[in-house]
């Protein structure tokens, strides 16, 4: 079972899955303005935070199964699922494998595309650095998750994000990197999933091709998308507006697309 934290007493269960080199601490700012109608279940993914590594290659499917095991232990059988970055990849795997549990799925600065061949090669080149020079890997990589135009303003937050990243087990991070290389394209999940799909993306995201992702979204009435003026870390860069979108979209109805 994975480590989890629960906050709030609302009737709507919202499961939050963090991204690579993160843990459940990343939600602290966004949580301040999330609706009290939510009960938040914040899970540390395998090899991150207080959850141990579970395999040498942690596929998105394997981690989705561990998320389900944790939620079944908590007797939570119907919920909204939101995943940041790698957490979004796991959310897509979850929606493919276990759609009956979901009331909605939110891709939060994430993508349904598989890695390009170039991105796969970049990840593979990082394996040795993750294993042998993890501190350097974290400190050099984390700033890239933020809008380059606001790096100076975000210095304190970037320092906090680095400290959270350094809490990750380096072999757990390596196992996740290998799992991300292997993940498949899941456009078909967006084409087949029947509940609400919410996309929150960043205009200046260096980790996700936001333009291509939004352009290729299936034309379905259950998909809503937002593009924010930030990088890959909206929970740090635009926590209030992200929370407001989640509150409104998962609890009420809004127009299909909006650029903020």
The pLDDT value given to residue 255 = 42
Quick one: tokens of 225?
A: 């998308």
Each domain of the chain, given as residue ranges in start order, spans: 4-259
Q: Which residue has the higher pLDDT, 257 or 175?
A: 175
CA distance 253 to 202: 22
The pLDDT value given to residue 256 = 47
4-259 topology per CATH:
Rossmann fold (3.40.50)
pLDDT band per the 50, 70, 90 thresholds, residue 244: very high
Give the start-end residues of each E strand in the chain.
4-7, 12-17, 38-43, 79-84, 102-108, 196-202, 223-228, 257-259
Q: What is the pTM of this model?
A: 0.96
Using alpha carbons, select from 41, 43, 4, 53 the residue that is nearest to residue 177. 53
Cα–Cα–Cα angle for 246, 251, 252, nearest 5°?
A: 105
The pLDDT value given to residue 252 = 75
What is the per-residue pLDDT across 180-209, written as a single tens digit (0 to 9) for each?
Answer: 999 999 999 999 999 999 999 999 999 999
Contact 8, 57 (CB under 8 A): no
What is the per-residue pLDDT across 125-170, written as a single tens digit (0 to 9) for each?
Answer: 999 999 999 999 999 999 999 999 999 999 999 999 999 999 999 9
The pLDDT value given to residue 151 = 94
pLDDT at 254 over 50: no
Contact 56, 172 (CB under 8 A): no
The pLDDT value given to residue 260 = 52
What is the per-residue pLDDT across 31-62, written as a single tens digit (0 to 9) for each?
Answer: 999 999 999 999 999 999 999 999 999 999 99
Per DSSP, the three-state class of 64 is helix
pLDDT at 24 over 80: yes
Quick one: tokens of 129?
A: 């650095």
Quick one: tokens of 234?
A: 């909206």
């Amino acid at each position: 079972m994975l480590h989890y934290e629960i906050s709030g007493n609302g009737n709507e269960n919202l499961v939050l899955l963090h991204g690579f080199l993160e843990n459940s601490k990343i939600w602290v700012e966004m949580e301040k303005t999330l609706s009290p109608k939510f009960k938040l279940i914040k899970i540390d993914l395998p090899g991150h935070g207080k959850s141990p590594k579970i395999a040498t290659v942690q596929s998105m499917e394997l981690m989705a199964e561990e998320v389900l095991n944790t939620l079944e232990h908590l007797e939570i059988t119907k919920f909204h699922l939101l995943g940041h970055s790698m957490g979004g990849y796991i959310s897509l795997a979850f929606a493919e494998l276990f759609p009956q549990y979901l009331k909605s799925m939110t891709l939060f600065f994430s993508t349904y595309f598989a890695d390009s061949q170039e991105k796969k090669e970049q990840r593979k080149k990082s394996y040795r650095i993750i294993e042998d020079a993890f501190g350097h890997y974290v400190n050099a990589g984390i700033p890239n998750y933020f809008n380059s135009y606001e790096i100076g303003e975000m210095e304190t937050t970037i320092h906090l994000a680095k400290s959270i990243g350094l809490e990750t087990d380096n072999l757990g991070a390596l196992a996740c990197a290998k799992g991300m290389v292997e993940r498949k394209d899941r456009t078909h999940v967006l084409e087949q999933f029947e509940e609400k799909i919410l996309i929150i993306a960043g205009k200046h995201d260096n980790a996700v091709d936001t333009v291509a992702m939004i352009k290729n979204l299936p034309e379905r009435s259950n998909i809503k998308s937002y593009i924010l003026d930030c990088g890959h870390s909206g929970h740090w860069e635009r926590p209030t507006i992200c929370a407001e979108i989640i509150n409104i979209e998962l609890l009420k109805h809004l127009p299909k697309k909006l650029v903020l």
